[in-house]
Structure 1
Amino acid sequence: MDWLGIGVFILSLAFAGLVIILIPVMKKLAATLDNTASTVETVNKSIGDVTGEATVLLYNTNETLVDVNGKISKLNPLFDILHDTGESAHHLTSTLARYTAGKAERGHAASEFVDRKNLEGILRGAAFIYYLREFKKEYDKK
């Protein structure tokens, strides 16, 4: 045997030893990759469940917002009535203040007292009180 054959033989023995040493490592690597694959599969299922729950949560939130917006839109006329009643009260008090300011201004203040804008606010205030009484009657019946 020549030196080349001996070198190839030694290299083949080293390679065989390396393969024998690496077999358990490769088995553990394969087991780790299997565990990783099952973990990724579990995570995918969990993400699907969380996504479904988030979708339900968003749907319920949207339904709640629609309900709140509907109730607020029902309250808007009441706030308009309260605003008009406040303006009417302001006009009434300012008219009364001008009325008592002097004898010369009394005729002008009396004509403003009868003005449609002032009476409209008072009528809306009366309608608001009527609405509250009717609501209370219905509430008491329940």
Structure 2
Amino acid sequence: MDWIGIGVIIIGLAFLGLVFFLIKPLKNLTELFASLQKTTDELPDQVADITSETTSAISAGRDAINQVNKQMNELSPLFQLIGDMGNTTRGLSSSLIKVNTTMREKLENDSAIKRNNLEWIYGIMTLGYCIFQRNKASN
């Protein structure tokens, strides 16, 4: 039994030495865990603040988008009017071009207009013809 007692005492002394050797690292580890606990205790409040700020930012963005949509709905008739005016202008200009082309083809052989510099009459006649056609179409 003596050998067993001596072995137990040696093992006990080894564990005692190991404890004294590990006291400083375990103390540092304890401080680290305490600091980590302090940091993680503040984490729920920080997450709640971030989510509330994010929610308010998303809400403000949604309100801004709704306001822009309302303004676009109010401006939509104006855009449609501008589009109709553009289509009308395009139709008028295309009819002016057609009339201008046909009259130019008819009058190109007439050298009296070129000779006497009467091209302005040709322009007035084209404009008058288009106005007459528009008045005729609207009645």
TM-score range, shorter chain: 0.5 to 0.7
Percent of aligned pairs sharing the same letter: 31
Matches within 5 A, 1:1-142: 2-100=2-100, 101-102=102-103, 113=134, 114-116=136-138
Where do 5+ consecutive residues of structure 1 fail to align? 120-142
Mean CA deviation greater in 10-19 or 52-61: 10-19
Amino acid at match of 1:81: L
Give structure 1 regions of 4+ aligned residues with deviation exceeding 4 angstroms.
109-112
Q: CA RMSD in A?
A: 2.8
* Residues 31-72 of structure 1: per-residue CA shift (max 9 Å, x gap): 210110111222332222111111100000000000011111
SS of 2:62's partner is helix
Supply the distance in 2 between the matched residues of 1:82 and 1:90 (Cα, whole angstroms): 12
Supply the distance in 2 between the matched residues of 1:84 and 1:25 (Cα, whole angstroms): 83
How far did 1:111 drift?
8.1
Report the TM-score, using the length of structure 2 for normalisation.
0.66
How far did 1:9 drift?
1.4
How far did 1:110 drift?
7.8
Report the TM-score, using the length of structure 1 for normalisation.
0.65
Which structure is larger by alpha-carbon Rg, 1 or 2? 2
* Residues 51-105 of structure 1: per-residue CA shift (max 9 Å, x gap): 11111000000000000111111111111111111222222233334444248xx
Supply the distance in 2 between the matched residues of 1:56 and 1:41 (Cα, whole angstroms): 24
Where do 5+ consecutive residues of structure 2 fail to align? 107-125
Supply the distance in 2 between the matched residues of 1:8 and 1:96 (Cα, whole angstroms): 117
Supply the distance in 1 between the matched residues of 2:87 and 2:39 (Cα, whole angstroms): 69
Supply the distance in 2 between the matched residues of 1:28 and 1:110 (Cα, whole angstroms): 97
How far did 1:7 drift?
1.7
